[in-house]
């Protein structure tokens, strides 16, 4: 074991870096950018990486969409786009569970993650569910006619001095 893997933050960083080679191998393969499902999984993986890098944001999104349920160790989320090097297919468990990266720890973040997961494993349903999957992230603004006098007042004319 390398000496720096004994320290928690350095160990987590190393475990994240181990995932880059298989990710890029798949991205530039026939199953990656060439196929529609591959592009959807690549976009989802990048989205999850960005969102999970800010855990409070990920938890806020989970709360916003109303996440329910728990993991049943089906392995579908560990095989999105490529098989995670830490997923053990025999025991169906993560070999670095205590030090797993945030992207694994926080999965699923939004309803789109469940749709990505269903692309990989259509036979077995996910134990996670969202109670408000269609809830808009931002409020939809009303058309100007429906605002009923809430439009901004006209600015006074400029003085030409």
**Whole-number pLDDT of residue 65:** 93
**Whole-number pLDDT of residue 12:** 66
**Whole-number pLDDT of residue 14:** 63
**CA 123 to the chain's CA centroid:** 22
The Cα 39–Cα 74 span in angstroms is 23
**Whole-number pLDDT of residue 72:** 86
Rg (CA), the chain: 22
The Cα 101–Cα 12 span in angstroms is 6
Tokens (6 digits) for 27: 């991205």
The Cα 147–Cα 144 span in angstroms is 5
**Whole-number pLDDT of residue 76:** 87
Domain residue spans in the chain? 7-132
**Whole-number pLDDT of residue 19:** 66
Return phi, psi of residue 67, to 5°.
Answer: -75, 140
Q: What is the pLDDT along the chain (161 residues), one digit of tens a residue?
A: 455 556 566 666 666 666 667 777 777 777 777 788 888 888 898 899 899 889 999 999 999 999 999 988 888 888 887 788 888 889 988 888 888 888 888 999 999 999 999 988 888 888 899 998 888 877 767 665 565 555 556 667 777 65
Task: Give me the count of residues in the chain.
Answer: 161
């Amino acid at each position: 074991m390398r000496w720096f893997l004994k320290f928690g933050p350095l160990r987590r960083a190393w475990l994240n870096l181990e995932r880059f080679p298989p990710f890029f191998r798949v991205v530039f393969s026939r199953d990656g950018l060439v196929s529609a499902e591959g592009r959807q999984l690549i976009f989802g993986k990048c989205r999850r990486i960005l969102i999970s890098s800010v855990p409070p944001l990920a938890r806020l999104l989970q709360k916003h969409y109303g996440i329910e349920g728990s993991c049943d160790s089906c392995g579908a989320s560990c095989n999105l786009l490529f098989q995670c090097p830490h997923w053990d297919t025999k025991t169906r468990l993560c070999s670095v569970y205590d030090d797993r990266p945030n992207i694994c720890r926080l999965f699923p973040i939004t309803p789109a993650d469940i749709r990505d997961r269903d692309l990989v494993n259509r036979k077995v349903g996910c134990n996670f569910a969202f109670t408000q999957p269609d809830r808009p992230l931002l409020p939809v603004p009303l058309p100007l006619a429906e605002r009923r006098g809430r439009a901004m007042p006209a600015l006074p004319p400029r003085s030409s001095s």
